[in-house]
Structure 1
């Protein structure tokens, strides 16, 4: 899986086909299931500004030859029907966000006019505009369904508002859609395609989250959550180097994409991490903390890291926003290997804190004091373990994110068969560029010094 952003996406030119969801024949039902915590947080800003950037996630993959448009439309319709969150939407009523459920049988896919003769730059610009327009936070089901038709090899692209998907979902969408399209082709040729196993609905997960009435105040992990935020004065952690923004200031988002280790380098890095009781993720967290310290930050780096919550097999093939967060403070030792040895057990211990849903933590601490919109976070995904991973390289699978605004630094570490890549977003300020250029150079040096 290639993890990128829309401004760095470089599709080969071709004829663009799009399908929009027509819900005019649908009478949605107001659901008693409230938005999940993540959805509520995300949707809380909906409608505050008419020019607010859309936060969507998109996926793309290639198929051989030209697109069979009828089969592709059928595959998209089956994907929507298959995942409950994709035939639901949200509206704001009397100040509250309300979930509305649509019968997927009443949702039509309307094909738009093909756009012919687009080169790579034109195609990217057209897709960027279409994704922003097609993936609003509120309203009917919101997503862009598209295909770039070429004679030799075509590209399938779809994007969704973040309320309905997470990074793991992008792998599920690619795997499902790839198989559904092949199945529709086989069916049109008189063959009996293999059917996908049933997928559970994220709406049911949200219902279970809402019904969770356990008392977490006495949970052993709660004390550690409270201690973490007490040390930080109830403020989420920030990137430890100056980014050139005062509290409350925003800037356009800058992006950095880089391959940090190839496959051979990663194998050597992992061996050293294991010898010191650490995982690859712990190794990168240790390297980041040591890098920041080498550049003038303190000896501690506090960060939040996301984890998926698909702990039950019931949710393993479900599309939705199945994530929570846990806090970690990395303590720098005398050298990076000392830091590495301490980070391994610290990370394992921190993972247990994710057992407490974040809303219960916020209730216990009386809410956060936030001076920024973004939170310094580091994410790690081993894409080799996600659905359909065996085909990712062959079909050139991509996870694509939008480019919006930023007021802190955030990092996504992705592991594939090719090694480890890093995607970063941070404010587009002169100070941030100076600091992050130095940070990336030092990080690569520190990572290689571990090998």
Structure 2
């Protein structure tokens, strides 16, 4: 699955049909508090909106179906999804100084196809979709922050769906890709005897199991409630906060220092042309790192030296940092999935936390020696992922999270639902134009490749300097991946 900003997306022209959910009753209030990330996300969106800044804080998915897609079948597939998943029918709205929750029962929603019109150029189509997505996914608006549709063409059609980031994450997008295609194939029939060839080609073999109905699905509100309960149970002296305390107190030499905290995280191996804290327009860089075969070889190299693929990636980042700055302590926030038990695996929502990744490089200058230290640091960070980040910061004195904190995410997408079809369907994860305070990175490992997507401040210093650091990171990784096994 590719990851790109919508401004860099090049959809072919065609006829647009939107799938709009219509409710037959008023939403019901609910008393489940928003997660810490939702509260921060919605608050930042409101602050930016108040200053007149354009908002695109959503995540979207686009993929192709063969031939001219059946809008009625797609509308039925979307109806199945919005009824099944709370992410598409439960939301939060600003009320005074807080957020009020609302939701619609599954059967209250019906999805209807609405023909919008034909767009003759890629630029006109992309601009239209960007505007409509911004309108329908604006944080804090009444109703689910969702827009879905299809661009119809004779030989292939492009399905798209966008949702406010407060209610989705990368795992949810993979679930959406798989479930929507499955539901569409079940409906796109030329006769009552079975699916059309186009529908069968869209999804491949029919899955052995059918997604659960609305009453069987677990919602993200259950996750929010559990997070709230965990937060209330934490106290300032809780042992679960020990790693966070060490992480926030660590200076460049790994010792406790007043210069630690999140302010020290703004230090990057090259000049970014900003103070690392003020949010400025960002630019997205994409780096192919390894082919599919090279990625397997790199994983084998890491395993021989006591770690996994992620540990090798973090070790390479740390080694390049030391070459650029002399600093042998690597410290960064890393994204950690909070789908900690099986019932949460099929849930659509934003079920992610940040873990504190901290380790010191050994004196040896090579990746083989660095992998074990990175592996231990990564394991500690993942173990701390059950501590809600915002609650940890509330309990630890003198800490405040930057508006968009710099972080490094690692995703092994090879086992994601439908991942075998990502390449042939041109599956693409789309985001709106980003803001950036520092540098954020996404290491993604898919069946055909491993790549690195990076958001940096759009300054001359960052745009010129960050690629020099990333080139060195990629060189370290490639050297290990192409080294003959002993």
Q: Shorter-chain-normalised TM-score: which range?
A: over 0.9
Residue in 2 aligned with 1:164? 167
Aligned pair 1:352/2:355, yes or no? no
- Within the candidate set 195, 199, 218, 2:210 is matched to 195
Aligned pair 1:4/2:23, yes or no? no
Deviations 1:173-198, CA, capped at 9 Å, x for gaps: 11111111111224963549973234
Alignment RMSD, CA only?
2.2
Distance 1:324 1:216, change over 3 A: farther
Would the aligned equivalents of 1:3 and 1:414 in 2 still touch at CA under 8 Å?
Answer: no
1:255 deviates by 0.8
Distance 1:248 1:267, change over 3 A: closer
* Larger mean Cα displacement after TM superposition, 263-272 or 63-72: 263-272
1:22 deviates by 3.8
Residue in 2 aligned with 1:72? 74
Give the Cα–Cα distance (whole angstroms) in 2 for the partners of residues 147 and 110 of structure 1.
Answer: 13
* Larger mean Cα displacement after TM superposition, 375-384 or 389-398: 389-398
1:65 deviates by 1.1
Aligned pair 1:272/2:274, yes or no? no
Aligned pair 1:445/2:438, yes or no? no
1:218 deviates by 5.3
1:351 deviates by 1.7
Q: Secondary structure at the match of 2:335?
A: strand
* Larger mean Cα displacement after TM superposition, 297-306 or 14-23: 14-23
Residue in 2 aligned with 1:233? 260
- Matched ranges for 1:414-433 at <5 A: 414-433=444-463
- Within the candidate set 116, 125, 140, 1:114 is matched to 116
Give the Cα–Cα distance (whole angstroms) in 1 for the partners of residues 323 and 8 of structure 2.
Answer: 30
Q: Secondary structure at the match of 2:262?
A: coil
Structure 2 alignment gaps of length 5 or more: 196-205, 251-258, 482-486
Give the Cα–Cα distance (whole angstroms) in 2 for the partners of residues 162 and 323 of structure 1.
Answer: 11
Aligned pair 1:391/2:418, yes or no? no
Give the Cα–Cα distance (whole angstroms) in 2 for the partners of residues 288 and 80 of structure 1.
Answer: 40
Would the aligned equivalents of 1:239 and 1:409 in 2 still touch at CA under 8 Å?
Answer: no
- Within the candidate set 402, 405, 421, 2:435 is matched to 405
Q: Secondary structure at the match of 1:147?
A: strand
Give the Cα–Cα distance (whole angstroms) in 1 for the partners of residues 455 and 267 of structure 2.
Answer: 12
1:90 deviates by 1.7
1:147 deviates by 0.3
Would the aligned equivalents of 2:76 and 2:111 in 1 still touch at CA under 8 Å?
Answer: no
Distance 1:247 1:59, change over 3 A: closer
Distance 1:21 1:315, change over 3 A: same
Distance 1:128 1:359, change over 3 A: same
Would the aligned equivalents of 2:267 and 2:276 in 1 still touch at CA under 8 Å?
Answer: no
Q: How many residue pairs were aligned?
A: 449
Q: TM-score, normalised by structure 1?
A: 0.93
Q: Secondary structure at the match of 2:15?
A: strand
Give the Cα–Cα distance (whole angstroms) in 2 for the partners of residues 401 and 239 of structure 1.
Answer: 26
Distance 1:161 1:367, change over 3 A: farther
Would the aligned equivalents of 2:29 and 2:100 in 1 still touch at CA under 8 Å?
Answer: yes
